Amino acid sequence: MTIRTISELLDAEVLCCHERLDTDVSDACGSDMMSDVLAHVKDQAVLLTGLVNTQVIRTAMMMDMHCVVFVRGKLPSSEIISLAENNSIVVMASPHRMYEACGLLYTHGLSSKENVHG
């Protein structure tokens, strides 16, 4: 799935890095606790969160994520957008709640390696 498709599915406004919308991603995670993302998330390309601060982008940078989606209609500051843009991380804002956003992406084929049982 492309980041462009994610923006369409989530009715999301793309706030930076429009040139990366055709990037393919295959995994996502949703969390408001960046410590959990750092401790438990591996190989996720998209982070959905309601936490709006620079730590979200710094976490995405450390985890090599391609996209951050702020849910519940939350809008990041210009500082957050600038940090993401300087690190080529697409930032979006979606009106959907976290549960709905994750469900929409999951039902359209985006998964989480955390959910794979082996």
10-residue block means of pLDDT along the chain (118 residues)? Answer: 97 98 93 88 86 96 95 97 98 97 93 49
Smallest CA-to-CA distance from 24 within 47, 4, 49 is with 4
Please check whether residue 84 lies inside any domain of the structure.
yes
For 105, the token pair is 């992406």
Tell me the torsion sign for CA atoms 85, 87, 90, 92: negative
Please check whether residue 77 lies inside any domain of the structure.
yes
Domain that holds residue 56: 3-111
* DSSP 8-state class, residue 49: E
Residue tagged 């955390």 (tokens): 114
pTM given for the model:
0.91
- In the chain, the number of structural domains is 1
Please check whether residue 116 lies inside any domain of the structure.
no
CATH code of the domain containing 48 = 3.40.1390.20
Please check whether residue 117 lies inside any domain of the structure.
no
Please check whether residue 118 lies inside any domain of the structure.
no
What is the strand order of the sheet 67-70 is part of? 13-16, 90-93, 67-70, 46-49, 28-30
Please check whether residue 86 lies inside any domain of the structure.
yes
